């Protein structure tokens, strides 16, 4: 429930990117005010204004960090962007810590008219890290599609890609997992001799189809499943999981489908 809230499922929009604007803007504003107060001691309330910009930025950053943590926890463990996302998180937590220390130090001598140089340096380092972290966040969204569409999904995302290449065929079928490992309405992502395939279970039946969307290769196992349709998490193309047919664009090309069945408590693909 809390995770769904933090991922923006109740608002129909991801929460983390909406929140980050506040701390970024407020921390940079506090730096500008600091620089102004360092250069000109009059008017002497610039230092105080920087303190309050930093304080509200700190509160906004703490809220954005919670939403970011919820998004980060849904990135597959074997996703190539997982490392970048972890680095992005470490940068952000360091920024919060730096501005937290900065705030603490400033709360002691509130009567200063000019920002002391060490405080200014702390702000400069923190602000520089924000820019690097913002760049990393941008690559996560624009290059890796992380966070895109997750707010629309209501079941768990697959934690990692299952490698089924190691299993021998049995009567032409390859065992994937036990039936109870895939709940109704859920998806799995499997690697079968280098081919990535998504498996979905709905109405007690299993369906297998190509993992990557025919529009721009969005990961369909991370999409939303409903009424025998899978919705691509990136640009909302919909495909019928029974036939692979593209029922809603922007994708125009149908998906490749594979045979799948449940037998003796196991899921097989063929």
Stretch that binds ligand FES, among 61-69, 81-89, 130-138, 228-236 (CB under 6 A): 228-236
CB of 76 to ligand FES, least distance (A): 17
Asked whether position 239 contacts ligand FES by CB under 6 A, the answer is no
Cβ burial, residue 93 (10 Å; 0-12/13-18/19+): middle
Phi, psi of 198 (to 5 degrees): -100, 140
Cα(first)–Cα(last) distance of the chain, in Å?
37
Question: From the list 51, 58, 72, 234, which residue makes contact with ligand FES (rule: CB under 6 A)?
Answer: 234
Stretch that binds ligand FES, among 8-16, 131-139, 157-165, 211-219 (CB under 6 A): 211-219
Phi, psi of 20 (to 5 degrees): -65, -20
Contacts of 162 (CB under 8 A, 6+ apart): 176, 177, 188, 189, 190, 191
Please name which of 190, 182, 188, 195 lies closest in space to residue 164, comparing C-alpha atoms: 190
Asked whether position 251 contacts ligand FES by CB under 6 A, the answer is yes
Asked whether position 221 contacts ligand FES by CB under 6 A, the answer is no
CB of 108 to ligand FES, least distance (A): 53
Asked whether position 244 contacts ligand FES by CB under 6 A, the answer is no
CB of 207 to ligand FES, least distance (A): 18
CB of 152 to ligand FES, least distance (A): 12
Question: From the list 213, 246, 260, 269, which residue makes contact with ligand FES (rule: CB under 6 A)?
Answer: 213
Do residues 89 and 72 touch, judged by C-beta distance below 8 A?
yes
Residue 124's SS3 state is helix
Which of residues 15 and 251 has its CB atom nearest to ligand FES in the complex? 251
Paired with 175 in beta bridges are: 268
Asked whether position 152 contacts ligand FES by CB under 6 A, the answer is no
Residue numbers of the site for ligand FES (CB under 6 A)? 213, 215-218, 232, 234-235, 237, 250-251
């Amino acid at each position: 429930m809390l995770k769904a809230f933090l991922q923006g499922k109740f608002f129909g929009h991801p929460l983390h990117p909406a929140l980050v604007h506040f701390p970024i803007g407020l921390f940079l504003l506090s730096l500008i005010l600091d620089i102004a107060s360092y250069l000109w001691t009059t008017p002497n309330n610039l230092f105080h204004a920087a303190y309050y910009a930093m304080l509200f930025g700190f509160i906004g950053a703490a809220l954005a960090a919670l939403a970011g943590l919820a998004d980060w926890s849904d990135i597959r463990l074997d996703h190539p962007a997982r490392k970048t996302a972890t680095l992005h998180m470490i940068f952000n937590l360091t920024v919060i810590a730096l501005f937290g220390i900065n705030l603490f130090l400033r709360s002691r001598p509130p009567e200063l008219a000019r920002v002391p140089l060490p405080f200014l340096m702390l702000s400069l380092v923190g602000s520089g890290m924000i820019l690097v972290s913002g760049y990393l966040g941008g690559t996560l969204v624009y290059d890796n599609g992380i966070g895109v569409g997750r707010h629309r999904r209501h079941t768990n995302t697959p934690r990692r890609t299952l490698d089924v290449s190691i299993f021998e065929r049995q009567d032409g079928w390859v065992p994937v997992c036990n039936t109870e490992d895939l709940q109704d309405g859920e998806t799995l992502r499997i690697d079968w001799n280098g081919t990535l395939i998504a498996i979905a279970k709905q109405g007690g039946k299993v369906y297998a189809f190509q993992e990557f969307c025919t529009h721009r290769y969005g990961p369909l196992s991370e999409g939303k499943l409903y009424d025998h349709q899978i919705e691509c998490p990136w640009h909302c193309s919909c495909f019928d999981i029974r036939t692979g047919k593209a029922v809603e664009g922007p994708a125009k090309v149908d998906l490749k489908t594979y045979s799948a069945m449940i037998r003796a408590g196991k899921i097989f693909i063929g």
